[in-house]
Structure 1
């Protein structure tokens, strides 16, 4: 069973990995503890060292330890060396460009590796774009799901969103500005134009903006302008019973075979269609397999299961 240690200062002489939340826009949101650790850590691993130095300049601190880059392109190679630093007694401070490391940012691999090695991992809490957007959205915040960035490819994005159509928790997404309009249009197709939502951009910055409207209106709004800045999309969860389309057996089988034709295995296709439409998976599998055999009349091929 994992156990958490007390405050970092109370574990003298022991190496540790410290995950540090950085401002998501306004440097004034930096915590006192972040300033202290930037000035004292033995190693500062930063997603972008140039941004780190700009942040330090804004905060009036100078890293005393070694500064190195740690981003999605080198984290696999650099993780073992950082684990060794912690194992040797060093304090390694991990920062990303904004917000908490490992939340849609580098960090997970290093945390996992340190935990597996029995090393101390702690955090400096702070700004979070996902939680800030959720709080500002005006949508229910008692239960929510953070979905990160939707897939970039249109087909994968549409499939991922359709799988969330019946999710009753509020959904929080990150998105790049140049894909925001296309993602909102895909959300309209998956969730319906009337689903309440909020587009939050440039949070905590000078031009912060929160646009609250049904998805259809948000999609039109984004399609009529150049969306700029860091974007969070918050979408209300489905109402009870929403997102479950009742189909007869022939229609369900057709949906399954369509997914199989696109390359999905029969079992997975049946499982997903049954989940989405409230069908009995075993019965649907038998019907789909029979339909598959019939379509291959005389071929003697077994269904891909």
Structure 2
């Protein structure tokens, strides 16, 4: 039986949190207020005070998402862990991410079995983001409803963009026609029958990114766990300029991977909004090698 629970975790003693961090630098507590959703043996933890970011996704005690490990480098690894949400295309804001939406505090409202988190408004990029986290106990899925509202006085073209970071390693796979996967030689793609694309992780000392017109899902397998994301299937022509429905980014060295999916671009008039839904599934699997078994495991969840 899938028992769905939603509860808030509040650390009453900040000193305890700080001392825990000092004892284990690989574990980072974003703030004093976390919200945890559960479905079956899986849990999702969201940090309202840090961009309403998903900071943990576990099956049992096994973590799926990349965790914050402070490094001597750009931005002290402030951004590159967990799962976040950005406006697309990136060319409009470049880097780093817009603080208001990526890492600033969101306001929280609990409604039934959902937690709804609402951002502030950035002066330069005037949107309002709303993230509703809930669960589908029948399908055993986490459900995220993302809303982007145009709060400016001008029409704006924007697309929704989810970024989920996992540790460097494992196997990715998705469905796409070979001709849409580009650049075709930048990663170790294996093109199989029925438009299945296998992507075993490989390490290089450079940043790499690929794009594809997929079929509405992206899967990652590592440590005996399948992490599947499902979303609207769109054509490349519907995506934001220079973007696509599915994107995968490898950070240099064996650090982290970004599993990225985007929705259709839409022109929002002042006061208008768009809402986009993504579902996350976490399941145990016996193999982390390309196989019909993995494809069938995905098909059963679609």
TM-score range, shorter chain: under 0.3
With structure 2 as the length reference, what TM-score do the two structures score?
0.24
Larger Rg: 1
Higher helix fraction (1 or 2): 1
Higher strand fraction (1 or 2): 2
With structure 1 as the length reference, what TM-score do the two structures score?
0.24
